[in-house]
Amino acid sequence: MCGIVGYIGNEEAVPVLINGLRKLEYRGYDSAGIAVLGGQGLLVRKSKGVLKVLEEKIGEESASGSLSGSMGIGHTRWATHGEPSDSNSHPHTDVAGKIAVVHNGIIENHAKLKAWLEDHGVGFRSETDTEVIAHLIDFHYNGDLLQAVLEALKRLEGSYALGIICESDPDRIIAVRKESPLVIGAGKGENLIASDVPALLEYTRDVYYLEDREVAVLYRDRVEFYNGEGQSAAKELSHVDWDASAAEKGGYEHFMLKEIHEQPKALTDTLRARIKTYAAKSINLEEIGFDASWAKAGRVVICACGTAWHAGTIGKYAFEHFARIPTDAEIASEYRYRNPIHDPADIFIIISQSGETADTLAAMRMARKAGARIIAITNVVGSTLAREADLVMYTWAGPEIAVASTKAFTTQLMCVYLIALQFGLLRGTITETELNGYIGALEQLAGHAAAILADKENIQRFASRQFNKSKVFFMGRLFDYAVSLESALKLKEISYTHSEAFAAGELKHGPIALVDTSTLVVAICTQSALFDKMDSNIKEVKARGAATLVITYEDVACFDKTADEIFRIPRTCDPLTPILSVIPCQLYAYYCAVQRGLDPDKPRNLAKSVTVE
């Protein structure tokens, strides 16, 4: 996730900016840059790679004083629009190089704005959505930077945290945010901006948290605040007591908990990137190169490992349900050594958070050799998977630092649903009206996820009673079975509890022999047509002494008498529930690990990216 810093004061800005960026490295990034305003005017230096590359680039200039100034902005970029490269790195400037902008977020209407600016003679130097902002501010600049920014903001759709400086307005930094974080640090004779508190702690613990659409104007000796209409606004100063490590985690105890909480935003970002909102809502996959020919496939094969394979398993159900197309979900490590039957008319969907998993890449290359066309779903721009696939659909989850995948999984699901729905529309298995209804349901999921998270104390209380079970089994049918697989994996990998997932109908074909009074059975029950069947399964395990937890919709009463405990989730249409029903299971796994005194961010024997076999 991009990181922003900014400084205005009486010290040299370069070391402060570099230091701040280093404190934001934990957010993940692929390039870095700074803009400094001093006697030599506005100077921008940026480069692909880690911060050290940038430091080496500016080392001599900075030591000799030729890159000097007491105000500036800096940025670490996590690529979204355009590959990691020097030219796509931030800051971006207007054509004359007099206005510099750093940005975290997504400008949804950037393509429209870019076309409009090009019609006005503006030449672009990067593939980023951010560059339009610098040109727009310049377009409106008439001697007053604040006014120009306010005018430019009126044209921007999407999310942004921005730091802006201008050579002809040399004594202030303008900062603004909408749906992306930005904090203002209030120092003595100096003020700062940052995406996150860790970058500020060395300078000040007094901060202002910007609200959506608020604008801050930072001078050396004061900070002024305005609302989006340019009217001045009062703001309360907050004092931060966190230590540096808590600050990196945004005040959460662990990255995993932070990432679980980031899901509403990650879901919104992933969906927004792919929805056309003008006229009737529709799915925009043309931008990634998808056309009707893809939906003519004879079969879809989804290939992945671990959690990503669970997303693929849900994908199989979704493709069958929405698009009525034969679909297989394959474990990449099995697939690559099998002798599978290929058809050049197959479409392969390869899912990988990192885009670097060895087995997944091997399976992709095998499919490619057999002539299949390949869609990648990944979280990492410029990853091997992204480079080698025919089409790439990015999950907009931001970097996932905890080893156990959470927000990558739910955003993978969002991508899978969007592709399956578009296949359905093109294959005539769903109508435009139905598609509109499903898009509406997808749009509501972020709010529903936030509602589940707001109830997390309930799950924490449950975990504090049930964290020491020797066996935990998850069961469900259809989409709920696939969520059971993911929930059992989450629990075993971070809490080391023996957990398994069963298709509930399989119970009596063997697994029920394991059920006794030391067992907790979690029944995921969101497939309305199968509630009766699930109720019978719950009764069967209860009769053998198991404790039972049911996860179902808030308005379903049919498990009230059977289950020992019920977690309720907001209602959505049944095929879309995995994005919601997995959240209580992620939280349960997290709290079990914490109760057992384990570090959920770094489970034993596991690595975040499995780049070797």
Binding of ligand F6R by 404 (CB under 6 A): yes
First vs last C-alpha separation in the chain? 28
Binding of ligand F6R by 537 (CB under 6 A): no
Q: Cα separation of 546 and 463, whole Å?
A: 16
Residue tagged 């996932």 (tokens) = 400
Instruction: Look up 303 and say whether it is catalytic.
Output: no
Opening angle at CA 593, ends 587 and 29, nearest 5: 70
Cβ neighbours of 560 (radius 10 Å): 10
Please answer whether residues 99 and 134 qualify as being in contact, where contact means their C-beta atoms are separated by less than 8 angstroms: yes
Residue tagged 């009074």 (tokens) = 517
Tokens read off for 476: 């469900």
Which contiguous run of DSSP H or E holds residue 425? helix 407-427
Figure out which of the listed residues 76, 360, 395, 422 binds ligand F6R, where binding follows CB under 6 A. 360
Q: Cα separation of 482 and 500, whole Å?
A: 12
Give the per-residue contact string, 405-424, with ligand F6R (x = CB under 6 A; - = no): x-------------------
Q: Cα separation of 53 and 572, whole Å?
A: 48
Of 1 and 43, nearer to ligand F6R (C-beta) is 1
Nearest approach in angstroms of CB 145 to ligand F6R is 42
Residues 452-491 within binding reach of ligand F6R (CB under 6 A): 489
- Piece of 220-228, 261-269, 306-314, 466-474 that binds ligand F6R (CB under 6 A): 306-314
What Cα–Cα distance (Å) separates residue 280 from each residue in 274, 277, 437?
14, 7, 11
The helix/strand/coil state of 281 is: coil
Figure out which of the listed residues 67, 308, 546, 593 binds ligand F6R, where binding follows CB under 6 A. 308
- Give 41-53 as a DSSP string: EEEEEEEES-HHH
Figure out which of the listed residues 3, 82, 264, 306 binds ligand F6R, where binding follows CB under 6 A. 306
The helix/strand/coil state of 566 is: strand
What Cα–Cα distance (Å) separates residue 69 from each residue in 14, 38, 40, 277?
8, 4, 8, 43
Of 307 and 519, nearer to ligand F6R (C-beta) is 307
Figure out which of the listed residues 62, 85, 159, 307 binds ligand F6R, where binding follows CB under 6 A. 307
Which contiguous run of DSSP H or E holds residue 225? strand 223-226
Give the per-residue contact string, 593-612, with ligand F6R (x = CB under 6 A; - = no): ----------------xx--
Instruction: Look up 415 and say whether it is catalytic.
Output: no
The helix/strand/coil state of 8 is: strand
Nearest approach in angstroms of CB 484 to ligand F6R is 15
Binding of ligand F6R by 19 (CB under 6 A): no
Among all residues, whose Cβ is closest to ligand F6R? 306
Of 16 and 592, nearer to ligand F6R (C-beta) is 592
Residues 488-507 within binding reach of ligand F6R (CB under 6 A): 489, 493
Of 354 and 548, nearer to ligand F6R (C-beta) is 354
Say if strands 183-186 and 191-194 run parallel, antiparallel, or are unpaired: antiparallel
Nearest approach in angstroms of CB 493 to ligand F6R is 6
Residue 8, beta-bridge partner list = 71, 191
Q: Residue ranges of the alpha helices (H) in 519-571?
A: 531-543
- Piece of 3-11, 131-139, 301-309, 463-471 that binds ligand F6R (CB under 6 A): 301-309
CA dihedral (201, 203, 204, 208) positive or negative = negative
Figure out which of the listed residues 305, 522, 547, 593 binds ligand F6R, where binding follows CB under 6 A. 305
Of 95 and 358, nearer to ligand F6R (C-beta) is 358
Nearest approach in angstroms of CB 602 to ligand F6R is 12
Preceding peptide of 91 cis, ω within 30°: yes
- Piece of 55-63, 145-153, 303-311, 567-575 that binds ligand F6R (CB under 6 A): 303-311
- Piece of 20-28, 302-310, 461-469, 517-525 that binds ligand F6R (CB under 6 A): 302-310
Q: Cα separation of 184 and 202, whole Å?
A: 14
Binding of ligand F6R by 395 (CB under 6 A): no
Figure out which of the listed residues 85, 282, 354, 572 binds ligand F6R, where binding follows CB under 6 A. 354
Give the per-residue contact string, 323-352, with ligand F6R (x = CB under 6 A; - = no): -----------------------------x
Residue tagged 């509109």 (tokens) = 436
Annotated catalytic residue, options 2, 305, 415, 525: 2
Note the residues at the interface with ligand F6R (CB under 6 A): 305-308, 352-354, 357, 360, 404-405, 489, 493, 609-610
So which residues are the catalytic ones? 2, 608
